[in-house]
């Protein structure tokens, strides 16, 4: 062998012998580093758990209920490291302000929409657990209403697409949601939920075959290739991509591969992206004179165990307004300002809006007996607040002011309870695109309160009430409730009117039930009345009876 080659081999072997221990040392160091990282991660998780135990229950619920799906991991860690409740309150305020799409606005539409979504899913997606805990509830809260829903609540026959093998089969109940665009995920995002137990418990799936009710039934629900004998149904269970779907016609699948599905699943479960901003809220105070009289009320509806939806309604008599005439139209304009503060003076929420009243000049006189009504709905934590309301007539400069106590109740998790009992002059369903939008909209229903609770016999009195914490049967995943309406005149004990709502007429529900009813008052003589709505949980034998007073006035005399 040539001398230079021998030398090279000797050097190479010597280098290899020398590098062997070094490589082992490096591997050992790398393994130690990985062990250290794992231990550090466990220590960090343990530390966060310990910190979580130390905070008050209201902040635990805020983390694990209110914002569990939208809070970023680093935000959660920072929140847990805070030392005082004052710091936590400041963090929560900054949390919502960072997400405010319009920093210059006194309203935070992101926060309002978020709690509107929670209220919606609790009403529409319960299945033995509150709607916000379900997969459909989670996706709805995070991403909002889908642009399209293909719903099959009872399952049925399904013709497979060709890229899944074709052929027909039967399915469990399922829903396909489609979003035209989701930030961070792109266009045409499709999500499927399947209810294999037919109990209303839809869960998110990455396997298109999971809705196939005949998947494990031999000889049934075959694909085209299986029906022709060129493929075996058993081959579906030998796939390594986490699905049991059949191969497409021609032996290929044109759908998403395993990694695409996993990526979509991770992205859809990740909190929506947030544009962090440095924001500062400016609140101006006003000197007011109590020259304009108006009515107001506030109602309470549960969103989560630690967040309450508070619609604040203001009604201004038209007779008190000043009108200006132009082109045959008399117009008035009112500025409405509201502010909610804690007893320590910390501002929780402000809102400001304009309300108009426009009438043809020929109809103004007969309109003076009517009122203009406005509503602002705000999510609040159970607490005692101060509410300041100011209404200004723009034309005259007259101002009315109300300063009142706003005690937001806490709805206990294990106790049968109800929302405010609202008597309304208008209750109607809204379209899907208007759910949660606009004044007086509670979920998918528009409820306009009658603030003076006065009706005439020809009126149809609307009644809106939500019932919370009905017990759900573990086997059927359904609640069993009885509802009776009773109307008593003055202090009489015998009802002037009484009727039950049959079980088959109650809306489908889990632990939460929403009542939307109309009562015809034609049989009631003029006078003062009390409405009682008795709700009985037949599983726990608990009964709760919210009440509301109202007045039936005589029909107005016909003008001669």
Q: Which residues of 284-310 are buried (b: 16+ CB within 10 A; e: fewer)?
A: eeeebeeebebebbbbbbbbbbbbbbb
User: What integer pLDDT is reported at residue 201 of this predicted model?
Assistant: 86
d(CA 410, CA 53): 21
Q: How many CA atoms lie within 13 A of 303 on its CB side?
A: 32
Do 441 and 357 have their domain in common?
A: no
Do 300 and 369 have their domain in common?
A: yes
Which of 393, 411, 429 delimits the end of a domain?
A: 411
Query: What residues form DSSP beta bridges with 174?
Result: 152, 194
> What residue numbers bound the domain in which 263 lies?
146-269
Do 238 and 335 have their domain in common?
A: no
User: What integer pLDDT is reported at residue 46 of this predicted model?
Assistant: 53
Do 346 and 449 have their domain in common?
A: no
Instruction: Please give the chain's pLDDT, 560 residues, in tens.
Output: 444 444 443 333 344 444 444 445 555 556 665 665 555 555 555 566 777 777 888 888 899 999 999 998 888 888 888 888 888 888 888 888 888 887 667 678 889 899 999 999 998 998 888 999 999 999 999 999 999 999 999 999 999 888 888 899 999 999 999 998 888 788 888 999 999 988 888 999 988 889 999 988 988 989 888 888 888 888 888 776 677 878 776 665 544 555 566 677 777 777 776 543 332 222 233 334 457 889 999 999 999 888 999 999 999 999 999 999 999 999 999 999 999 998 777 888 888 889 999 999 999 988 898 999 999 999 999 999 999 998 989 998 888 888 899 999 999 888 899 999 999 998 988 887 777 677 899 888 899 999 999 999 989 999 999 999 999 988 888 889 999 999 999 878 889 999 999 888 888 778 999 999 999 998 999 999 999 999 999 999 999 999 999 999 998 766 54
Do 449 and 368 have their domain in common?
A: no
CATH (domain of 391): 2.60.40.10
Task: Name, in order, each residue with C-beta under 8 angstroms of 330's C-beta and a sequence gap of 6 or more.
Answer: 323, 324, 358, 359, 360, 361, 364
Report if residue 233 sits inside a domain: yes
Do 539 and 560 have their domain in common?
A: yes
Report if residue 317 sits inside a domain: yes
Query: What residues form DSSP beta bridges with 486?
Result: 498, 532
User: What integer pLDDT is reported at residue 314 of this predicted model?
Assistant: 96
Do 406 and 420 have their domain in common?
A: no
Do 495 and 523 have their domain in common?
A: yes
Q: Give the three-state DSSP class for 297.
A: strand
Report if residue 39 sits inside a domain: no
Report if residue 61 sits inside a domain: no
d(CA 205, CA 199): 16
Task: Name, in order, each residue with C-beta under 8 angstroms of 368's C-beta and a sequence gap of 6 or more.
Answer: 318, 319
Report if residue 192 sits inside a domain: yes
Do 227 and 264 have their domain in common?
A: yes
Q: Which two tokens stand for residue 299?
A: 């109602």
Report if residue 102 sits inside a domain: no
Which of 385, 411, 437 delimits the end of a domain?
A: 411
d(CA 512, CA 305): 13
Is the entire prediction scored with pTM above 0.85?
no
Report if residue 502 sits inside a domain: yes
Report if residue 482 sits inside a domain: yes
d(CA 80, CA 50): 9
Q: Total domain count for the chain?
A: 3
User: What integer pLDDT is reported at residue 273 of this predicted model?
Assistant: 66
d(CA 323, CA 233): 78
User: What integer pLDDT is reported at residue 487 of this predicted model?
Assistant: 95
Q: Does the CA dihedral 226-232-233-236 come out positive or negative?
A: negative
Do 339 and 305 have their domain in common?
A: yes
Which of 380, 411, 442 delimits the end of a domain?
A: 411
User: What integer pLDDT is reported at residue 288 of this predicted model?
Assistant: 40
User: What integer pLDDT is reported at residue 3 of this predicted model?
Assistant: 47
Do 400 and 417 have their domain in common?
A: no
Do 343 and 473 have their domain in common?
A: no
CATH (domain of 432): 2.60.40.3880
């Amino acid at each position: 062998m040539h001398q230079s080659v021998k030398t090279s081999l000797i050097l190479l072997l010597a280098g290899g012998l020398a590098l062997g221990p070094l490589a082992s040392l490096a591997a050992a160091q790398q393994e130690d580093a990985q062990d250290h990282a794992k231990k550090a991660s466990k220590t960090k998780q343990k530390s966060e758990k310990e910190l979580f135990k130390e905070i008050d229950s209201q902040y635990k619920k805020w983390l694990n209920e209110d914002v569990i799906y939208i809070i970023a991991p680093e935000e959660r860690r920072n929140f847990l490291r805070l030392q005082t409740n004052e710091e936590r309150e400041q963090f929560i305020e900054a949390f919502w302000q960072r997400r405010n799409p319009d920093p210059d606005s006194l309203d935070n539409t992101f926060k309002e929409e978020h709690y509107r979504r929670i209220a919606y899913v609790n009403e529409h997606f319960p299945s033995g657990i509150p709607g916000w805990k379900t997969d459909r509830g989670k996706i709805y809260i995070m991403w909002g209403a889908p642009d399209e829903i293909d719903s099959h609540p009872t399952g049925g026959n399904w013709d497979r697409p060709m890229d899944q093998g074709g052929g027909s089969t039967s399915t469990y109940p399922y829903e396909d949601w489609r979003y035209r665009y989701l930030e961070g995920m792109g266009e045409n995002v499709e999500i499927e939920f399947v209810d294999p137990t037919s109990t209303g418990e839809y869960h998110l799936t990455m396997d298109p075959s999971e809705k196939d009710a005949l998947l494990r039934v031999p000889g049934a629900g075959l694909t085209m290739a299986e029906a022709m004998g060129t493929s075996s149904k058993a081959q579906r269970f030998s796939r390594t991509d986490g699905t049991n779907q059949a191969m497409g016609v021609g032996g290929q699948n044109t759908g998403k591969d395993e990694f695409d599905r996993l990526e979509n699943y991770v992205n859809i479960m990740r909190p929506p992206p947030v544009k962090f901003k440095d924001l500062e809220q400016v609140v101006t105070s006003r000197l007011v004179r109590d020259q304009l009289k108006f009515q107001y009320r506030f109602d309470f509806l549960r969103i989560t165990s630690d967040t309450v939806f508070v619609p604040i309604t203001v009604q201004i008599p038209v007779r008190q307004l000043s009108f200006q005439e132009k082109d045959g139209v008399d117009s008035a304009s009112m500025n409405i300002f509201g502010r909610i503060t804690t007893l320590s003076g910390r501002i929780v929420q402000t809102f400001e809006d304009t309300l108009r009243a426009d009438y043809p000049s020929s109809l103004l006189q007969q309109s003076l007996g009517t009122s203009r009504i406005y509503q602002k709905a705000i999510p609040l934590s159970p607490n005692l607040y101060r509410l300041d309301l100011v209404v200004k007539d723009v034309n005259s400069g007259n101002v009315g002011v109300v300063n009142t106590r706003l005690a937001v109740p806490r709805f206990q998790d294990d106790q049968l309870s109800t929302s405010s009992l609202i008597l309304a002059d208008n209750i109607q369903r809204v379209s899907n695109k208007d759910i949660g939008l606009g004044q007086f909209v509670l979920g998918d229903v528009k409820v306009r309160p009658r603030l003076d609770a006065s009706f005439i016999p020809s009126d149809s009195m609307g009644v809106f009430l939500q019932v919370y914490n009905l017990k759900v049967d573990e086997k059927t995943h359904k609640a069993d409730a009885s509802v009776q309406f009773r109307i008593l005149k003055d202090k009489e004990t015998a009802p002037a009117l009484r009727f039950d709502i049959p079980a088959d007429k109650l809306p489908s529900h889990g632990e939460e039930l929403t009542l939307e009813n109309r009562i015809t008052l034609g049989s009631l003589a003029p006078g003062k009345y009390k409405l009682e709505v008795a709700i009985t949980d037949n599983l726990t034998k608990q009964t709760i009876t919210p009440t509301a007073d109202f007045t039936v006035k005589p029909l107005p005399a016909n003008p001669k």
